[in-house]
Amino acid sequence: MTLKTFKPYTKSTRGTILVNKTGLWRGKPFKSLVIPKNASKGRNNNGHITSRNRAGGHKKMYRQVDFYRKKFDMSATVERIEYDPNRSCYIMLVKFEDGKNSYYLAPQKIKVGDKIENGSQKEIKVGNCMPLKDIPVGINIHNVELQPGSGGKIARSAGTSVSISGIDGNYSLIKMASGEIRKIDSRAMATIGVLSNPDQKNIKIGKAGRSRWLGRRPHTRGVVMNPVDHPHGGGEGKSAGGRHPVSRTGQSAKGLKTRDNKRTDKYIIRRRKRKKV
């Protein structure tokens, strides 16, 4: 996929950069694998806003992507590659030998007509899914389970992948994109390859209207609010200094570590790289 720019006929098209979707399926999604999706608009089950600056956005149906890949030892053919409005990477519709269809995350370099398989001792080929113990060190993988049978949780976004950096007994050492190295049970499943649509990170939406289609409402800065509304608010004129940056609820916004899961600390071999503030 390549990036698509526009002639500057308007101020919005001047800065717009989108991904060219040539080659993707242009029809409707597979009917039996979609369900209605109601927009929460940032509200919880009581109707109270818990996530601010969210709206309904464009109406969409949810594609039921199979993250478990439990249909073992049966070949499947890639029928088509589709755009999914609910995630950044593309998805592929596969058809198994018994006639059943499923949606899977589509990796790069996979084409319509390719054969893929799930299970142990399979060929090291893009799109095949197998336990971590069967995958050689250094191979790029995605849709990795944290626990055997729990479904893929790691590396599911566009252009992402992780790699196996070593073996430690019954565990595989997984190197994340962030630099973190983590132990995962070697029986957990993972899929070979890097996920599709790597140019997603280069998109420039160009106009506020496209943000509304994505369900994002206008965001008001804290420094222009009153003190009753935000810790940054108040002051005479444009006074933005003199305060430690915090959220609306007072939580530090610059570098505060909020992770508090002592139960899984033993699985983290090396912490992720620190960002330069």
The CA distances from residue 149 to 21, 131, 146, 152, 186, in Å, are: 33, 10, 9, 9, 12
Please check whether residues 152 and 190 belong to one and the same domain.
Answer: yes
Same domain assignment for residues 96 and 233: no
Q: Are residues 85 and 143 in the same domain?
A: yes
- Copy the structure tokens of residue 13: 């098209």
Categorize the per-residue pLDDT at 44 as very low, low, confident or very high, splitting at 50, 70 and 90.
very high
Do 44 and 170 sit in the same domain of this protein? yes
**Helix runs in 160-271, H state only:** 208-213
Is 1 within the bounds of a domain?
Answer: no
- Kindly state whether residue 119 falls inside one of the protein's structural domains: yes
**Does 218 reside within a domain?**
no
Q: Give me the amino acid identity at 17.
A: I
Tell whether 131 and 229 lie within a shared domain.
no
State the pLDDT confidence band at 277, using cuts at 50, 70 and 90.
low
Do the domain assignments include residue 111? yes
pLDDT for position 238 = 86
Q: Write the single-letter amino acid at 34.
A: V
Instruction: Give Rg (Cα) of the chain.
Output: 22
pLDDT at position 60 over 90 = yes
Residues in the chain: 277
Q: Are 259 and 267 contacting, i.e. CB atoms less than 8 angstroms apart?
A: no
* Residue 63 shares a structural domain with residue 146: yes
For residues 148 and 27, membership in a common domain is answered with yes
231 & 109 share domain: no
Domain that holds residue 235: 225-269
Q: What's the pLDDT tens digit per position in 224-267?
A: 999 999 999 998 888 877 778 999 999 999 888 888 999 999 99
Asked, for residue 220, whether it belongs to a domain, the answer is: no
Q: 235 and 185 share a domain?
A: no
How many domains does the chain divide into? Answer: 2
Structure confidence at residue 224 (pLDDT)? 92
Say if 93 falls within a structural domain: yes
How confident is the model over 189-209, as a mean pLDDT?
95
Q: Do both 164 and 230 map to the same domain?
A: no
> Is residue 189 within 8 Å of 145, Cβ to Cβ?
yes
CATH code assigned at 53: 2.30.30.30
Residue 249, domain CATH = 4.10.950.10
Whether the CB-CB separation of 179 and 167 falls below 8 Å is answered with: no
Decide if 206 is inside a domain.
no
Which H or E run includes 15?
A: helix 11-15
Q: What is the pLDDT of residues 162-180, one digit of tens each?
A: 999 999 999 999 999 999 9
In a domain, 16, yes or no: no
